Amino acid sequence: MKPSHRLLLLLSSAAAVSACSPRRAAELFLLGSHFDAVQDLPYGEGPRQRLDVYSPSDVGGRPAPVIVFLYGGRWQQGSKDEYRLVGSALTGRGFVAVVPDYRLYPEVRFPAWVDDAAQALRWVSDSIRRFGGDPSHIVVVGHSAGAHTAALLGLDEGYLRRAGVPAGAVDGFVSIAGPVATEWTDRDVQALMGPREGWPATYPLRHVGGSQPPLLLLHGGRDETVSPANSVRLAELIRERGGCVREIVYRGLGHISIAVALAVPGLGLAPVLEEVAAFAREPAIVCGA
C-alpha cells in the first residue's frame, strides 16, 4: 500500500472512531511538536482582526522567513482555527507562519478584507521578530478568495502603503486557485463586491503594471469552482508588461485538493508545498534570477 493510501486509511479510521471531522482527524495524526503557536493576537480592534503565529521550535538562532497565509471562503466564511495544518506544514519547512482572520460579508463589503490583510501585514512587519520571524523576508500566500486578496495586495501597492507597511517589505505573493482574471457573475459575489461601478477596482487584471513584486500562480487543472484560466490569463498579462511571474497548473487537482496538497504534503497529491516553499525562500526565482 502506498504511504498516501495508508495515511488516508488512518485518517478515515480516526474520524470514524472519534466521531470528529476529517480535518480534526488529520490534526490528531499530523500536528507535530516541531512548532510553537500563539493564538488570537490582535492586529486591529475588531473581533475578527486577530491572527495566529506558528514558529518553528528550533530556528537555529537566526530569524526565519515569514509566510502570511490568507484562507478562502467566498469572502463570507472561514476561520484561522481551521488552518493549523497549514501552520504545521509551513513551520516544518522552516518558516514562521501567520494566519489572520479578517472581516467578512455581510458585515462588510469590498475592500474591507483587503484592508484587513494589509493591516495584518503591518503587524507582521512591526512585530514578527518577537516570534522568531524575519521582517525583511515576508511572502503572502492566499487560497481562493484569499488568493484574490493576495493578488490585489501584490498588484496595487496602495493597500500596503495606506496601512503603513514599509515599501518593499513583502518580497512576493502566491495565488492558489485564485479568481484573479474573471468578472463577477454570481449574485452573492456581486453584492459583496459593492456597487457595479466600483467592480473594476476589484479585478487584479486591472492593476497589472509590470513593476510589482514577483508572483507565483498555482491552480488545479480540474478546478470547477475557479477556472485555471484565471492563473494563466493573469500570468500572460504580467509577462506582457515586463513583470516576474510563474504559473503552474496541476493536472489532477481541484479547488479544495490543491489546498489539501499544501496542508498535508504527505498525501503526495502534488508538490504544492514544495513550490510555495521554494518561491518563499527566493521569490526572484520566477524572474530567472
Confidence band (pLDDT; 50, 70, 90) for 10?
Answer: very low
Q: Are residues 249 and 142 in the same domain?
A: yes
Q: Are residues 172 and 100 in the same domain?
A: yes
CB 249 within 8 A of CB 189: no
Q: Are residues 196 and 272 in the same domain?
A: yes
Three cell numbers, residue 149: 486578496
Task: Report pLDDT digits (tens) over 225-273.
Answer: 999 999 999 999 999 999 999 999 999 999 999 999 999 999 999 999 9
Which DSSP symbol is given to 171? E
Q: Are residues 67 and 151 in the same domain?
A: yes
Q: Are residues 225 and 102 in the same domain?
A: yes
Task: Report pLDDT digits (tens) over 159-211.
Answer: 999 999 999 999 999 999 999 999 999 999 999 999 999 999 999 999 998 78
pLDDT of amino acid 288: 76
Domain that holds residue 17: 1-30
Q: Are residues 21 and 118 in the same domain?
A: no
CATH of the domain at 263: 3.40.50.1820
Q: Are residues 96 and 224 in the same domain?
A: yes
Write down how long the chain is. 289
Q: Are residues 191 and 102 in the same domain?
A: yes
Q: Are residues 252 and 155 in the same domain?
A: yes
Into how many domains does the chain fold? 2
Q: Are residues 111 and 249 in the same domain?
A: yes
Q: DSSP 3-state assignment of 215?
A: strand
> Is the pTM higher than 0.85?
yes
Q: Are residues 165 and 24 in the same domain?
A: no
Q: Are residues 55 and 125 in the same domain?
A: yes
Q: How many CB atoms lie within 10 A of CB 88?
A: 21
